[in-house]
Every structure is written in structure tokens, then in C-alpha cells.
Structure 1
Amino acid sequence: MRHDGDMTEPSRHDLPELPTIAAAVRQIGARRFDFSREVAVMAVVNRTPDSFYDRGRTFALDSAVTACLDAASSGADWVDIGGAPFAPGPEIPADEESDRVVPVVEAVRAASDIVISVDTFRADVARRSILAGADIINDTTGLADPELARVVADSDASIVITHSLAAPRTPLASPTYRDVSIEVAEFLERRVERALGAGIPEERIIVDPGHDLNKNTLHSLELTRRLGPIVDLGYPTLVAVSNKDFIGESLDADRGDRVEGSLVAAALCIAQGARIVRMHNVRESVAAVRMAEAILGMRQPAYLRHNMGERND
């Protein structure tokens, strides 16, 4: 546990009913997580010239490495490194994607024991990234490529299985769902079975409902309200809500003005059982997550002084 301020274990009868998570205690790389009583903050670092949020700010190699190490210093538990945006656009060759992400993985791995994930749907990029030191493959296509599952199965890496419907980097103009939470959960359950069938053990599987990925704002809001069907699958649930369009459209807010909305969305997901939050604004996100953990009884406050028998000036 990383909460050095813990004084005692939270009283078990005071804890809210939390979901049962398969293999709640996870060893991911050099880090140990107990998802029954902690939430991990995943920082986003995109080595792309056209990422939707930072617009290429971390495209240069040294900028990307510095951003990863700054995230670690700010309290992030892991960094998610991407070399190709999800948004529709021209195909980026696998060699070019590898050239973007692998040097970042190597440099960060040499400098830190922070958990490293690589955001890719390509088996070859995943293989090279794992060899370079990545601990997790974050696949936004939900194992659309069966070879990717085999690459992960043949390693010690974990996999994030994300819900999305369209082929990589292709549009889905008008997605429709009868019940988005149920349909996303059913999709993820099928893809988890694919992962298990390929030999990936359940203790290395994480699921993500894919906010905004082939979904409109109403779908993403509904997923945020009703995360339960996804959490009930029993695997650690990751939510990537940070600065997404559903927040911008809900608040009429440009990309630079979505931090507060992102934190609220993340906190509501945590209250429903999300245990990993993928966020851009690391310092603010770490504080929000630690506060959510304290409110939910998952951790003790860093210290107790107010009305504890001492004079409060």
C-alpha cells in the first residue's frame, strides 16, 4: 500500500458494499495493488502530433519521457503511452508506431518502477513494447486482433480490454444501443472469454467500458450513471473519462476547461466500483482519487487533528 498516512485499517462494518473483483490483489510490474481498497491513477502521455487533448505537446521523445517521470513524481501509479490516436484518420504504420512508443518505454523503465502501459491494438507493437519493459497493453479495440491476445498470453503483461465497435481509426457516425451499459458489459464478457481462451489468466485482465469510443454523449453519461453491469463482471474496471467530449458537451466547455467535470465523472465511477482512472491532469486527479478513497472508507485520512482533543487555531 502507498498510503503512508494510514493509521489504522478502516472499520470493515463501515465500508460500503464494494464489488467482488477477481484477484483483487494484483502484482503489476514492480507495483502491488489491492483493488478492494485502493484506486490507481493512470496518467496519459501521447507521443502523437495530433492527440485530442495535448495537441502534440509530448510528441518529442524527451518531452514524452519527462511527462512520464513528472507524472510519477506527482503521484501517478502508472503511465499510459500512446503512439496512435483513436480518432479516425490515416493509418500509422506499425513500425512508425513502435518507433514512437518503444524508446519512451525503454527510457521510463530505466528511470522508474512506475507501471507502464502502451495504448495499442497491434500485436507487433505490443510485443516490442513488452520486450522494452511495458507491464500492460491497453487495447482500445477489445482484442479485435486475436494475435494480440496470444502476444500478451505469452508474456507476463496484463491486458486492458476496452469496448469499441468500429475498426481502428474508422468512424461510426451514429452508434445506437438499446441499453448501453448492458450491451457494453456483454461485449466485454465475450472479449474476456476470448482472452481466457488465448491463455491470458484472469488475474491479468482489466476491463474498460470505453467512454466516448463509438458512443455519443448520452451513451457516455449513461455509462457513468450505470457502471454497475461492467463492474459486476468481476474484473478491475478502468474508466477513461478525462477531458472527453461527453464532458465538454455536457458543460459547453472547451478541452482546456474540462478538468472539474473530469474529476466529478471519475469520482462517480469510483463510487460505483471503478478501480483505475485514466487522467490527463495528474496532480488534481491524485487528490480527487485519494479523497474518494477516504470518503468510501477505503483508506484513513492522512492525519486526524480537527476536533480530536487538540486546540484548533
Structure 2
Amino acid sequence: MDKYIIGIDLGGTNIKSAVFTSEFEPILERSDSTDAGLGPAHVLGKIKIIIKTMLLESGIDRHSVLCMGMGIPGLLDPREGISIFSPNFPHWENIHVVKEMQREFPFPVFIDNDVRLNLYGEWLHGAGVGRRNIVLLTLGTGLGSGILADGRVLYGQTSSAGEIGHMNMVREGRPCRCGSSGCLGRYVSATGMVRTFTEELDQGRESLIRSWVKNDSQQITAKMISDAYDLGDPLAIEVMHETGRLLGFGLATFINLLNPELVIIGGGMSAAGDRLLGTVRDTIRKHALKLSSEACQVVQAALGGRSGMLGAAVYAARRVEGKW
């Protein structure tokens, strides 16, 4: 009997879901809005419906599913299957995700941090194939990172290694749901960049985008800032470069500490490409140790939005095999 693997990438904005063969060939993929503000019970219920729908549409019996992997933002206990805290998900604390899923499905379910699962995907099937020292960042609703050091993914004592988004970059800066303030992710993320932009508009700065949204700043998106950048909008260019500069300082510290050979930038905001990464690379070159920075490339993710789903499937399969 053929076996299948499900990969779920839970993001602050979208739930990306896929069914793969045991050889990680995609059978079916989809993306649905997360509706994070409606709470964990709603989100988990929606994931269950998505899984049932995918299996029905692909004609796969649930008993033919070998396992399922789920990437979840924030702090968690992957061995116990508990999501401890997720800063972009209201009321998301100590949620036993695995137990909730296994009430509905007969196959084993495994969870891990969403960025680590993106790292597994890019390392084994994307931009990081053959590399042993990688830092992967996802730039989306928030900012997270996963670390591969000498061929091993780092977890740390509480499975929270790599929380670059909570590196304090601005003293007494924007408050963060982690309890601190000035965290890098409050500035370097789609949400953070849009906030920087709207704060400048509130100070009276002008931009093409003001007319695009008819002065409704809540309609501004990171993509609009990229589009305005391409049209030569001075404020969009300034904000994009400032975001890249802050990310560059954060990565310079990571490069000095970890000495990676590759930094992979993924997540929806990575679509900004060299508009953002040009400033990131320039800042790293100026502020990281010369020997370390010259040995490290900064590249875009190769798998795009698929890396989290694929990484989740790979991770689950290896957990079933007892490899991780």
C-alpha cells in the first residue's frame, strides 16, 4: 500500500498545507487564511477540516498516511507536542497540538518550530543542499531563524535556539508580546516594516502609497512598499533600506557568533529580493568580522513558500524512522 505524508506550515497570516508521497513528491497543496485572531481552538479546528478535505480530494484513506508534520511559530516542546507561546497568535499558550490532532487522526503527528522546519526543507531539498553550516531566516508576519551547525540543527535546552527576532536592537523600543521591547522582529518583518512606514506618514512624510490607500494606513502592505520602491518613491526606498540595515546588524552578530557558510532568507517578505538584501549584505560586509563575512553568502530561499510544508513532511518522516 502506498504511504503518504502531510506537511503543515502554520503562519500568522496563512496555513500552508500539502500531501506528499513517501518520496516527498507533492500530491496536493493549498493555502488558507489563518484567522489567528479567532483563537487556537478555531485555528486547530480549521487545520483538521483542511486535512480531511485534502485527503478526500486526493482520494487518500487516512490509514494510508504515514505521519504528519506541523510547523508552528514561537516556543514549543517538540517532544511533548505542546505549543508553549506564539507572539503573533492571541491566547496561544500551552496548547497540546499533537493531542488535539490525534483525537481526530490515526497517524502520528509531530510538531516543531516553523522556522526550523523551513530550515530542514531548504537544507535537504533547496538552497542549502550539501552545506553544513547554515542560518535560515523567515521574514513574514514575524522574524525567526533556524541554525544548522556542523551538520546538526540546533535546539538548545528549551528548544528555543535561534530566536533572532527577540534580539534587543532598540533600547526601550516597540513593545513585544515576549515581554521585552525593541526586539528585532518588531522592526524587521512585514508587520514591522509597514509600521515604520506608517509612522513616517503620521509625521507628515509624503509617499505614492498615501494615494493608493486613500489615506487609510491600515491598508498598507509590505508589497506596496516594494512596488513604490520600484517607482522611485523616496520614503519607500528609505524605509526598505533602514529595514535592511537593521537586519544586517542582527545578522552580523549571528555571523560573528556562528560562522555560517550560508544565510538563507525565506518567508513572504524575501520577495523584496535585492531591494532589501543589497543593504543587508552591505551592512554585514561593514560590521561583521571580515574572515567570517567573506566566507558567508546571503541568498534567497530556493523553495519559496513550499519549504515549510516540505520541511514539515521531511521532519515527520525522520521522526517516524527514529533518525531525529
TM-score of the two chains, using structure 1 as the length reference:
0.32
Higher Rg? 2
Structure with the bigger percentage of helix? 2
TM-score of the two chains, using structure 2 as the length reference:
0.31
